[in-house]
Structure 1
Amino acid sequence: MKNIQIIDDADNVTYSLFQATEAEFEAIFPNGRDIELAEDLLDRLGEEMAGAVLAPIWSRPILKRDALGIHGTLFYDNDRRRDHIPPSKREVDWNEGAINQAQRDLFAKHR
């Protein structure tokens, strides 16, 4: 199972984690991505297929303290962040001006 953190625009800022199977994760985050906007997921899969992929995930919450890593981040109601997300939707491809030197060194090893 892979852990997905949900970032939404809610005032409660819980940013919950849910578990996804490998197949569900790949449907949400294809081609090595680890970042996705819900709006793009809906555009890519269509509302019915996206719903079918996401529905079982909502029944698998996991506490942050029990999670062994966060494998992907799914943003809801955050279209305003689109210009800040790398076009590849991979964490390791952040603009170097937006991260510190230690992150630049780490990400360079994983591109």
Structure 2
Amino acid sequence: MLKYIIPLVFIVGCTRAEKVEPKINECAYILTRIVNIQEIREASRKDFHITVEDKRVGKVSNAIWRKERDRWLAQENKLATTANYLYNEARAKACFDNMEDENE
């Protein structure tokens, strides 16, 4: 009987590890995409803030202001929508399970 238990434990252990590794890879890919998108959003926000300040002091015309605002809003909406989709995908795949919250 023991000669069957040891191989069975090994097989179950390997099967479980084989299931975990793809999840880790899949979650890592999703979370990396989220981080990349958030970095792009932050860079874009900082860039647009320069335009906001230039508009405030009169260095930017209304036409350029509207063009830059519309460009930023379109990009921000697209990136935010994509990030939201990825967050939902990560939640559905339980990528956030067992993560510690640094605010707790």
Which has the larger helix fraction? Answer: 2
- State the TM-score, normalizing by the size of structure 1: 0.24
> Comparing both structures, which one devotes a greater share of its residues to strand?
1
What TM-score do you get using the length of structure 2 for normalisation?
A: 0.25
Q: Which has the larger radius of gyration?
A: 2
